[in-house]
């Protein structure tokens, strides 16, 4: 289940009436694409975790993409605004995720200027050329809150890229971080940083073990069942197949999640 850098053209399935489906390009993850479900669930669990921590707050979901995460945060937030510069993603999100406490703004993360209690910036800092400027900007946006918080996540280069490589083959990524690099980046801008790691659980943990110890990739290839197996396995993945914790070595994490406060 390596990340695809040049995926085939998949469109979202079963969208509500009047909502244009988005195509999977590799730049952002999407719900409602069975082949993308691993990555969608991997991101969804973090949004749900944040939703429960930031209940009742005013939140900015920066680089919100398709908008599903903004919709999740809105389930318990006082108000959420999803910010994305892509016109297709913005229009899709605006039409699909509606509610009295949710809205969307077509803008850049570098220019959107609205005070909030929290800024959420998931799986995007690896895409930006100016991470220090971006984090300083987020800190200013939450500075007036009684409980300011900035939550940032990024993939772990040690588990995303081939062993020994400085970067994966994802053309959208500018910089991929090791745990100590990501912590140092966040601590350079915030006085308090809590670091968490995302790991496989349940059937994904079993699958990971099978790959490492039983050479499952070789087995299913020899048996000629690769497509049939993953056509079943990938859509069956859920948020329960991941765990987010501060109690395991970050070097082995899939993604890092930093909860930052001034």
Q: What is the pLDDT of residues 21-56, one digit of tens each?
A: 999 988 889 999 999 999 999 999 999 999 999 999
Q: What is the mean pLDDT of the chain?
A: 93
| pLDDT: which is higher, 9 or 121 | 121
Beta-carbon contacts of residue 237 (< 8 Å; ≥ 6 apart) = 37, 38, 41, 203, 204
Please tell me the predicted confidence (pLDDT) of residue 179. Answer: 97
Please tell me the predicted confidence (pLDDT) of residue 228. Answer: 87
Share of the chain above pLDDT 90, in %: 84
Calculate the dihedral angle through the C-alpha atoms of 180, 185, 191, 196, rounding to the nearest 10 degrees.
-50
Enumerate the domain spans of the chain. 10-200+244-261
* Confidence check: pLDDT of 77 > 70: yes
* Confidence check: pLDDT of 72 > 70: yes
CA distance linking residue 226 with residue 208, whole number of Å: 15
Which among 45, 245, 258, 42 is positioned nearest to 135, based on CA atoms?
258
> Residue 212 — pLDDT band, cuts 50, 70, 90?
confident
Residues 219-233: pLDDT tens digits? 677 677 778 888 899
Please tell me the predicted confidence (pLDDT) of residue 52. Answer: 98
Structure tokens at 37: 């479900």
* Confidence check: pLDDT of 210 > 90: no
Residues 159-172: pLDDT tens digits? 999 988 999 999 99
The yes or no reply on domain 10-200+244-261 and CATH 3.40.50.300 is: no
Residues 144-201: pLDDT tens digits? 999 999 999 999 999 999 988 999 999 999 999 999 999 999 999 999 999 999 999 9
The residues facing 261 across adjacent strands are: 192
Please tell me the predicted confidence (pLDDT) of residue 4. Answer: 47
Please tell me the predicted confidence (pLDDT) of residue 220. Answer: 74
CA distance linking residue 108 with residue 86, whole number of Å: 9
Over residues 235-253, mean pLDDT: 97
């Amino acid at each position: 289940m390596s990340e695809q850098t040049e995926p085939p053209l998949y469109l979202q399935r079963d969208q509500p009436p009047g909502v244009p489906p988005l195509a999977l390009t590799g730049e952002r993850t999407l719900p409602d694409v069975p082949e993308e479900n691993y990555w969608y669930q991997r991101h969804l669990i973090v949004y749900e975790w944040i939703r429960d921590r930031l209940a009742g707050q005013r939140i900015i979901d920066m680089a919100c993409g398709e908008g599903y995460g903004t919709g999740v945060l809105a389930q318990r937030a006082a108000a959420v605004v999803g910010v994305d510069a892509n016109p297709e993603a913005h229009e899709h999100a605006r039409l699909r995720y509606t509610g009295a406490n949710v809205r969307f703004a077509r803008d850049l993360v570098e220019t959107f200027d609205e005070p909030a209690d929290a800024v959420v910036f998931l799986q995007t800092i690896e895409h930006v050329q100016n991470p220090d400027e971006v984090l300083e900007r987020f800190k200013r946006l939450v500075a007036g809150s009684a409980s300011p918080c900035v939550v940032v996540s990024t993939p772990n280069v040690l588990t995303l890229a081939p062993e020994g490589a400085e970067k994966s083959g994802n053309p959208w990524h500018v910089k991929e971080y090791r745990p100590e690099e990501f912590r140092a980046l966040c601590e350079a801008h915030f006085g308090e940083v809590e670091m968490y790691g995302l790991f496989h659980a349940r059937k994904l943990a079993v699958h990971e073990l099978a790959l490492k110890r039983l050479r499952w990739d070789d087995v299913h290839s020899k048996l000629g069942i690769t497509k049939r197996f993953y056509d079943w396995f990938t859509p069956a993945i859920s948020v329960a197949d991941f765990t987010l914790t501060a109690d395991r070595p970050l070097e082995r994490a899939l993604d890092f999640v930093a909860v930052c406060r001034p």
